[in-house]
Amino acid sequence: MWWRWYVPEKLVIARVARKCYSADMATTALRTDMVRARIEPGRKQRAEAILSRLGIQPSQAINMLYAQIELLKALPFEASIPNRTTLAAMKDAREGRVHKARNAADLFQDLDH
């Protein structure tokens, strides 16, 4: 049975890919444009390792991103400029000034006080 070798991540990606695929794509598969981008090498390697585990080529992932942008008429994630409070929290986290708790119960107890 084919689904025994299918890991859940690949199944989810296959479903997303099917939704991003249109009948138009079948007839225009040979007509493509080039997209060029500069990416930090470490980020590229890490992302491509994840894509490989999912069974997706980088060009397929980029095509899926573009398809989602086209469908949603927006980025498929929230993109915003952080406000002062968020920037301060990000700075504190980078510098190790974060609240630490042993478990969720302790965290909620600390938040109540």
Cα 16 to Cα 55: distance, rounded to the nearest angstrom:
13
Tell me, yes or no, whether 85 and 58 share the same domain.
no
Tell me, yes or no, whether 111 and 64 share the same domain.
no
Tell me, yes or no, whether 85 and 75 share the same domain.
no
| pLDDT tens figures, 21-52 | 555 555 555 688 899 999 999 999 999 999 99
Check if the beta carbon of residue 99 is closer than 8 Å to that of residue 110. Answer: yes
Tell me, yes or no, whether 35 and 61 share the same domain.
yes
Tell me, yes or no, whether 53 and 73 share the same domain.
yes
Cα 31 to Cα 65: distance, rounded to the nearest angstrom:
18
Q: Quick check: pTM over 0.75?
A: no
Tell me, yes or no, whether 104 and 91 share the same domain.
yes
Tell me, yes or no, whether 72 and 86 share the same domain.
no
- Domain with 93, as residue range(s), is 81-113
Tell me, yes or no, whether 63 and 10 share the same domain.
yes
Tell me, yes or no, whether 50 and 65 share the same domain.
yes
Tell me, yes or no, whether 70 and 85 share the same domain.
no
In sequence order, which residues have a C-beta less than 8 Å from that of residue 61 and are 6 or more positions away? 51
| pLDDT tens figures, 50-102 | 999 999 999 999 999 999 999 999 999 988 899 999 999 999 999 999 888 89
Cα 37 to Cα 62: distance, rounded to the nearest angstrom:
11
Please state the domain count of the chain: 2
